């Protein structure tokens, strides 16, 4: 049996690749934690060094500061006594990071236990599965199940590892604050002034009024630099842990491990899938070569889609589960809170409602487009000339069109109202009244899409055999009956296609609203995408915005599904 | 033969001629209604700033004020906007043609495990509203430090699933025997793609390029998000900004609008058939 | 300049598409320099077999050898074969010259040499004036020549033809067939030619391989295929009008019998099929002059045949009694065989010959190919004589047993 994928090798490869992926994730996690731990140790070391250098400081202060930590000798190979480390630091023998020995609990290195346990047990299961013999013949198709198991395991481990990293780093931040307060306390006790105490705690000595810790939402989505440290207003107050927490960026802030972790997970699942693909083929050189060739053709598109579509889809889901403010560096996980908030958000639902109402322009547009298609039927020259005029609104700059219409519909000086006044009709507040604004936008949208729809209908009409009409005419059917019994059934699929694509498109209307009404007046034209845009880029609440976009997706999906469920079936049997 | 022709002609009675006239009139009216905003845009672009508010409400400018164009186009760096739009659209066309032809060919003609499932997965992304990926894409581009740069503008737009679909459908119509002949002639997959399949798919490539260009030119939301400085704005964003700056100077705005619409209108005029082909390919599956 | 011809050997080659077996365990040897025609009904796997040789398909099992190399893992372009396709498969976007030179350019042949070889091939095929045209501007026959030229330019060890004549009209097809035969004589290259047309196969091939349902049924010279078909399928497939058949069964005495015929000897087979070529029947118009003799003895004065059999040049098969038959009371071989009586149903006059459709033995529809010099009319009762020495007997499994012994004719026509 040449060329059949070897099931044992396949499972072994899946297991191995998953193992590599897991090791990668755990490695990245551990690396992040340990790097920050070094940094934390360095910070404590700097505090000790500052105490050492105090006029009243020296070994006594350092010893007082480090009293609880007995293992300071551990760093020294020559078994010197407490304080030697500080001395060594001062004389340049030891890097600040070497104060690692004073790190809480004396743990030098850490290992992410929970994710590691998860990963190891998963790996064990996979190994068991790889070793176990299965009687059914191996399927030559894509090994979906192993790939799925591997990906799930990888994803779960990545999530667990990320969560654990976040917690560990938060702990380190808290501990540093405690140490800082203690360092300041020791410094004061050794006769330092307040400024010196602050420096010992790792705070800048200057007493300047600082801006608020959370920057006000600004119109420009500039990610601000490191938060500016707030300072104490009264010099006599002692340094408290909360001062340090407020004033210094948390260790979490240094770099979120989420991105490298996700990347590592994605890369390793990709590698797994690839391995699972290629391994069974390696027994057939030509098949292998062919597969590799095909993938080299597919790679540019696949990589770009992975990076900018599939990746972002997952990332967006991730964001929607967090309180994600653009300028903040901490994005606390909040589970489904964003979604729960949305359900009670009246403005959001009114935006959805507006979008749904806006979508009602589609049937009108289709009716007009079908009429135009029937009008131009049979005459090639008419079609060609009509096309430019009819098509232009659909393909040119939306913004330019929106501006023209805004001018045409201007309350006082717009051509439309002037014409109405000319024939003695009261002018209409097209865009400035909540009652009319949305309808006006719908009308403009009809104007924009009919040209495109007309061309699709023309194509659909051309595909209906002429013989059917001749036969109907011979049978004595009038024009209306021919339309009802031949044209409409013949256009069934075209109508359905136009309806579905137009509805999906109209759920995403943005440019018109942005230029013409900015969602107003009184939120009457606040449609979903515009609402999301404002939520994200004006209020910078990306978590909420991401949740909204998933709700919108659900709505679009439901609408499409309903179309397929009810319309296509009925039309198919019409 | 001749008889039947004259017979058909004879059946063209008066009512039919009337119907044709009515139809032509109706069509002309529809075209006029569709074109009116553009005509009004052109007319306003030549009026004086105050003339547009005059009580008479004229349809045509008293004397065409051509200076509106240079004045409006230099009030903001429109030349730069155009350059940016051109760079953006050209890069997107190049990217989409490259990715869609290769991937479309792989899906149409190359064999590999899971081909059809991967294709379905690709197609499924057409269902997803663009706004979902907007936020993560923005954060990614921001993290890369590509905000306000060409690479930030272009990188997310380089692949089009619709284009892949279009090319796949087209490549499937290329006779297989041609590729077999090339294989026997000793051509490898790349050579077959480049020398046989791609030249035969020129019409589809033209359609794809055209649509990619127009879509990129029309793209408003993404450039709005990733550009900040005036130097990086594309025409669409430029006009929106111009609109909010010169809110009541309608002649200037209309002049800018005319300049934005004109290139696309001209492009369409000369490439109609590719447009129509593309839409028809899309519409009838 | 011309490279040595290469042989092609298939060993146990099998090709399955999912559950469908297109080619089943084929062993075939094509000698170097030979023109072998693969013939069979549509869907018999002959084109797949050709594509396996070309490398356009990969065998599910078995090996393909070309010129002494196993080429299973070689790409089509590396196999030193050239192929002419049914649709010609000319690149529509290239001129004739570029079409001809494509295979050379792909291999990185120098510009001058490409031009020279293209020029030479164009001269041979008379394409000189067409070099700058595109395939769309050529007639079917011209396209066919370009396709041929494209294969020639490459100067391959093996030529493969996949029904290259089926898109041509009848006259052009005959001419092109002659040209291909001439080309083969000129180049002396190995050629494998696939066709569904048995006349084309017999007229063109040095050897012919008949395929059915993915298997090769018989390989041999056209004459062998025609005169000694290995089985019922080959007998029925080759020849036009098709061979006449009659099912035979064993009598109580162990003799094979069917219709008016009873064959002497004891048959080892429970059943068999008799097959006679239309030109091996001789017709005498008129009612039986004497009642048929029960044992076919010479009492009856057989009239001289109205005309000699069409293929008089072919000697009768030497084996008279197939192995396994125990000779019984054999009729006198020296006496002329007894005729049987049949009714003429329809007569086709084709000018050079006439085809007489008969209500044959046991009501089977038989056709006789006779000279038009002695016209028959529908409704005539005729005496039919079989040239038994050239008839065939096939066993119940369809495999040829041999030539039947001359039978006795009972009762003639009812």
Residue B206: inside a domain, yes or no? yes
Q: Verify that B52 and B93 share a domain, yes or no.
A: no
Each residue's pLDDT tens digit, C62-78: 999 998 888 888 888 88
Q: b/e string for B164-178 if b means 16 or more Cβ within 10 A?
A: bbbbbbbbeebeebb
Average pLDDT over residues A131-144: 49
Q: Verify that B54 and B184 share a domain, yes or no.
A: no
pLDDT at C326: 54
Chains contacting B (3 or more CB pairs within 8 Å): A, C
Closest CA in chain A for residue C71 = A286
| Contact residues, chain C, for B177 at CB < 8 Å | 85-87, 89
pLDDT at B164: 93
pLDDT at C353: 84
pLDDT at A378: 67
Contact criterion met (CB < 8 Å) for C58 and A285: no
pLDDT score of A127 more than 90: no
Residue B277: inside a domain, yes or no? no
Contact criterion met (CB < 8 Å) for C58 and A286: yes
Average pLDDT over residues C192-204: 92
Pick the CATH number of A342-572 from 1.25.60.10, 1.10.10.10, 1.10.3720.10, 1.20.140.10: 1.10.3720.10
| Contact residues, chain B, for A409 at CB < 8 Å | none
What's the pLDDT band for A218 if we cut at 50, 70, 90? very low
Count of structural domains, chain B: 2
User: Where do the CATH 1.10.3720.10 domains begin and end in chain A?
Assistant: 342-572
pLDDT at C3: 63
Each residue's pLDDT tens digit, A269-321: 666 666 666 665 556 667 777 888 888 899 899 999 988 999 899 889 888 88
Report the run of H or E that residue B6 belongs to, with start and end: helix B2-11
Question: Can you tell me which residue has the tokens 């991105």?
Answer: A259
User: pLDDT above 70 covers what percent of chain A?
Assistant: 66
Residue B2 at interface with chain A, using a CB cutoff of 8 Å: no
Highest-confidence segment of A69-83, A252-266, A323-337, C301-315:
A323-337
Contact criterion met (CB < 8 Å) for B187 and C106: yes
pLDDT score of C104 more than 80: yes
- In chain C the domains, ranked by start, together with CATH numbers, are 8-232 (3.40.50.300), 242-409 (2.40.50.140)
Each residue's pLDDT tens digit, A41-63: 777 777 777 777 777 666 667 76
Peptide bond into A521 cis (omega under 30): yes
Q: Verify that B137 and B163 share a domain, yes or no.
A: yes
Q: Take residue B92 and report the two structure tokens written for it.
A: 């997107």
| Contact residues, chain A, for C73 at CB < 8 Å | 285-286
Q: Verify that B96 and B223 share a domain, yes or no.
A: yes
C-alpha B165/C-alpha B230 separation (Å) is 36
Task: Pick the more confident residue, A287 or A454.
Answer: A454
Closest CA in chain A for residue B228 = A220
Tell me which of B245, B260, B279 is where a domain ends: B245
Q: Of the given ranges (A136-140, A179-183, A537-541), which has the lowest mean pLDDT?
A: A136-140
Residue B120, min C-alpha distance to chain A (Å) = 13
Chain A stretch 2-21, residues whose beta carbon is closer than 8 A to a beta carbon of chain C: 2
Regions in chain B scoring below 70 on pLDDT:
1-15, 55-58, 280-285
Q: Verify that B39 and B118 share a domain, yes or no.
A: no
pLDDT score of A355 more than 90: yes
pLDDT at A202: 74
Report the run of H or E that residue A457 belongs to, with start and end: helix A437-462
Task: Pick the more confident residue, B265 or A143.
Answer: B265
Each residue's pLDDT tens digit, A464-498: 888 888 888 888 888 888 888 888 888 888 888 88
Q: Verify that B86 and B12 share a domain, yes or no.
A: no
pLDDT score of C197 more than 80: yes
Q: Verify that B63 and B126 share a domain, yes or no.
A: no
Q: Verify that B112 and B165 share a domain, yes or no.
A: yes
| Contact residues, chain A, for B164 at CB < 8 Å | 301
CB contacts < 8 A (B, C): 66
Each residue's pLDDT tens digit, C250-279: 887 778 888 888 888 777 788 889 999 998
Contact criterion met (CB < 8 Å) for C61 and A2: yes
CATH, residue B130: 1.10.3720.10
| Contact residues, chain C, for B173 at CB < 8 Å | none
Average pLDDT over residues A399-422: 84
Q: Verify that B193 and B84 share a domain, yes or no.
A: yes
Residue A284, min C-alpha distance to chain C (Å) = 9
Task: Pick the more confident residue, C105 or A412.
Answer: C105
pLDDT score of A574 more than 60: no
Residue B191, min C-alpha distance to chain C (Å) = 8
Task: Pick the more confident residue, A538 or A154.
Answer: A538
The whole domain housing B232 covers 76-245
Q: Verify that B166 and B43 share a domain, yes or no.
A: no
pLDDT at A26: 74
Contact criterion met (CB < 8 Å) for B184 and C76: yes
Q: Of the given ranges (A331-345, B99-113, B120-134, C191-205), which has the lowest mean pLDDT?
A: A331-345
Candidates C52, C72, C67, C257; CA nearest to C160 is: C52
Each residue's pLDDT tens digit, C207-217: 999 999 999 99
Q: Verify that B141 and B215 share a domain, yes or no.
A: yes
pLDDT score of A235 more than 80: no
Which of C50, C51, C55, C85 best tests the B interface by mutation, with the highest count of B CBs <10 A? C85
Q: Verify that B125 and B145 share a domain, yes or no.
A: yes
Residues 6+ apart with CB under 8 A from C65: C7, C8, C9, C10, C11, C71
Chain A stretch 270-289, residues whose beta carbon is closer than 8 A to a beta carbon of chain B: 277, 281
pLDDT at C65: 92
| Contact residues, chain C, for B183 at CB < 8 Å | 55-56, 75-77
Chain C stretch 35-94, residues whose beta carbon is closer than 8 A to a beta carbon of chain A: 58, 61, 73
Contact criterion met (CB < 8 Å) for C77 and B187: yes
ipTM, interface predicted TM-score of the complex: 0.85
Give, in degrees to the nearest 5, the angle at Cα A53 between A49 and A57: 100
Average pLDDT over residues A328-333: 72
Residue B203 at interface with chain C, using a CB cutoff of 8 Å: no
pLDDT at A237: 58
């Amino acid at each position: 049996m040449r060329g059949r994928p070897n099931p044992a090798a396949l499972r072994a490869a899946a297991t191995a690749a998953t193992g590599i992926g897991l090791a990668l994730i755990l490695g990245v996690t551990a690396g992040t934690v340990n790097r920050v731990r070094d940094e934390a140790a360095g910070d404590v070391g700097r505090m000790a060094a500052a105490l050492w250098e105090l006029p009243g400081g020296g070994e006594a202060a350092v010893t007082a500061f480090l009293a609880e930590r007995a293992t300071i000798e551990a760093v020294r190979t020559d078994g010197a006594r407490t304080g030697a480390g500080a001395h060594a630091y001062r004389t340049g023998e030891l890097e600040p990071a070497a104060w690692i020995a004073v790190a809480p609990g004396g743990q030098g290195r850490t290992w992410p236990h929970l994710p590691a346990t998860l990963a190891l047990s998963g790996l064990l299961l996979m190994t068991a599965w790889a070793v176990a013999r299965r009687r059914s013949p191996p399927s030559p198709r894509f090994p979906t199940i192993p790939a799925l198991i591997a990906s799930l395991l990888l994803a779960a481990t990545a999530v667990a590892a990320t969560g654990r990293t976040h917690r560990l780093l938060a702990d380190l931040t808290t501990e540093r604050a405690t140490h800082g307060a203690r360092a300041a306390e020791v410094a004061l006790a050794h006769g330092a002034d307040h400024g010196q105490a602050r420096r010992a705690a790792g705070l800048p000595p200057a007493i300047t009024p600082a801006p608020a810790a959370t920057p006000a939402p600004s119109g420009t989505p500039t990610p601000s630099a490191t938060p500016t440290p707030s300072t104490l207003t009264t010099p006599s107050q002692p340094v408290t842990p909360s001062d340090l927490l407020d004033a210094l960026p948390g260790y979490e802030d240094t770099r979120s491990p989420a991105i490298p972790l996700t990347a590592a997970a994605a890369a390793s699942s990709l590698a797994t899938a690839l391995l699972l693909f290629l391994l069974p083929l390696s027994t057939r050189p030509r098949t292998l070569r062919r597969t590799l060739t095909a993938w080299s053709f597919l790679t540019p598109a696949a990589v770009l889609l992975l990076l900018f579509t599939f990746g972002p889809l997952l990332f967006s889901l991730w964001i929607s589960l967090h309180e994600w403010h653009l300028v903040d560096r901490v994005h606390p996980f909040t589970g489904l809170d964003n979604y729960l908030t949305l359900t009670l958000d009246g403005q959001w639902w009114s935006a959805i409602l507006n979008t749904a109402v806006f979508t009602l322009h589609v049937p009108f547009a289709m009716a007009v487009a079908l009429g135009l298609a029937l009008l131009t039927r049979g005459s090639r020259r008419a079609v060609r000339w009509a096309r430019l005029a009819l098509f232009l609104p659909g393909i040119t700059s939306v913004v330019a069109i929106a501006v023209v219409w805004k001018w045409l519909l201007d309350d006082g000086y717009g051509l439309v109202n002037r014409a109405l006044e000319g024939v003695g009709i009261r002018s209409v507040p097209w865009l400035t009244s909540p009652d009319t604004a949305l309808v006006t936008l719908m009308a403009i949208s009809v104007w924009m899409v009919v040209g495109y729809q007309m061309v699709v209908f023309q194509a659909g009409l051309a595909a209906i055999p002429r013989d059917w009409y001749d036969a109907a005419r011979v049978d004595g059917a009038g024009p209306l009956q021919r339309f009802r019994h031949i044209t409409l059934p013949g256009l069934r699929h075209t109508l359905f296609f136009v309806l579905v694509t137009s509805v999906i498109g109209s759920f995403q209307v943005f440019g018109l609203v942005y230029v013409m009404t900015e969602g107003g007046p009184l939120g009457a034209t606040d449609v979903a995408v515009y609402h999301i845009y404002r939520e994200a880029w004006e209020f910078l609440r990306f978590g909420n915005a991401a949740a909204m976009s998933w709700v919108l997706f659900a709505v679009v999906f439901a609408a499409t599904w309903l179309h397929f469920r009810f319309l296509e079936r009925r039309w198919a049997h019409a | 033969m001749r008889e039947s022709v004259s017979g058909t002609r004879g059946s063209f009675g008066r009512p039919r001629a009337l119907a044709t006239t009515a139809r032509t009139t109706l069509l002309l009216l529809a075209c006029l209604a569709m074109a009116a905003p553009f005509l009004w845009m052109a007319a306003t672009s030549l009026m004086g700033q105050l003339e547009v508010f005059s009580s008479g409400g004229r349809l045509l400018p008293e004397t065409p004020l051509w200076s509106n164009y240079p004045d409006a186009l230099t009030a903001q760096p429109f030349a730069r906007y155009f350059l940016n739009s051109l760079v953006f659209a050209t890069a997107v066309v190049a990217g989409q043609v490259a990715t869609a032809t290769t991937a479309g060919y792989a899906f149409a003609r190359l064999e590999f495990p899971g081909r059809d499932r991967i294709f379905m997965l690709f197609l499924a992304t057409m269902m997803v509203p663009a706004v979902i990926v907007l936020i993560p894409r923005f954060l990614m581009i921001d993290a890369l430090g590509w905000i306000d740069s060409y690479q930030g503008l272009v990188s997310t737009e380089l692949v089009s699933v619709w284009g892949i679909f279009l090319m796949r459908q087209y490549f499937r119509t290329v006779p297989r025997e041609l590729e077999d002949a090339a294989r026997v002639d000793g051509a490898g997959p790349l050579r077959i793609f480049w020398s046989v399949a791609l030249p035969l798919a020129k019409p589809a490539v033209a359609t794809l390029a055209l649509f990619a260009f127009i879509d990129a030119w029309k793209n408003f939301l993404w450039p709005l998000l990733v550009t900040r400085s005036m130097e990086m704005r594309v025409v669409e964003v430029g006009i929106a900004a111009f609109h909010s700056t010169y809110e009541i100077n309608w002649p200037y705005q209309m002049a800018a609008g005319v300049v934005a619409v004109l290139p696309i209108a001209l492009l369409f005029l000369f490439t109609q058939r590719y447009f129509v082909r593309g839409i028809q390919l899309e519409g009838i599956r | 300049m011309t490279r040595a011809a290469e042989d092609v050997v298939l060993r146990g080659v099998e090709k399955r598409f999912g559950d469908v077996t297109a080619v089943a365990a084929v062993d075939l040897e094509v000698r170097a320099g030979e023109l072998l025609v693969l013939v069979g009904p549509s869907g018999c796997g002959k084109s797949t077999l050709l594509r396996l040789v070309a490398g356009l398909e990969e065998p599910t099992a078995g090996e393909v050898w070309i010129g002494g190399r196993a080429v299973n893992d070689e790409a089509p372009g590396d196999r030193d074969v050239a192929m002419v396709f049914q649709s010609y498969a000319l690149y529509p976007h290239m001129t004739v010259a570029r079409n001809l030179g494509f295979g050379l350019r792909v291999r990185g042949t120098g510009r001058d040499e490409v031009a020279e070889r293209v020029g030479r091939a164009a001269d041979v095929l008379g394409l000189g004036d067409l070099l700058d045209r595109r395939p769309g501007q050529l007639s079917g026959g011209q396209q066919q020549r370009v396709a041929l030229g494209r294969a020639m330019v490459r100067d391959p060890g093996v030529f493969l033809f996949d029904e290259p004549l089926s898109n041509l009209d009848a006259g052009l097809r005959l001419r092109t067939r002659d040209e291909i035969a001439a080309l083969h004589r000129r180049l002396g290259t190995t050629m494998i030619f696939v066709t569904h047309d048995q006349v084309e196969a017999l007229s063109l091939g040095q050897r012919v391989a008949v395929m059915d349902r993915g298997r090769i049924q018989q390989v041999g010279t056209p004459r062998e295929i025609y005169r000694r078909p290995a089985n019922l399928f080959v007998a029925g497939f080759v020849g036009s009008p098709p061979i006449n058949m009659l099912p035979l069964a064993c009598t109580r005495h162990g003799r094979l019998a069917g219709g008016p015929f009873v064959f002497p000897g004891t048959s080892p087979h429970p059943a068999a099929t008799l097959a006679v070529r239309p030109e091996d029947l001789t017709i005498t118009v008129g009612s039986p002059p004497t009642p048929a003799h029960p044992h076919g003895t010479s009492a009856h004065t057989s009239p001289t045949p109205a005309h000699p059999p069409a293929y008089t040049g072919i000697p009768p098969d030497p084996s008279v009694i197939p192995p396994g038959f125990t000779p019984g009371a054999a009729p006198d071989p020296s006496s002329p065989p007894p005729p049987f009586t049949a009714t003429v149903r329809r007569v086709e006059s084709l000018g050079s010959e006439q085809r007489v459709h008969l209500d044959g033995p046991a009501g089977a529809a038989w056709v006789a190919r006779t000279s038009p010099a002695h016209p028959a009319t529908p409704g005539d009762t005729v005496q039919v004589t079989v040239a038994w020495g050239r008839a065939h007997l096939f066993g119940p499994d369809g495999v040829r047993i041999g030539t039947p012994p001359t039978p006795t004719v009972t009762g003639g026509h009812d």
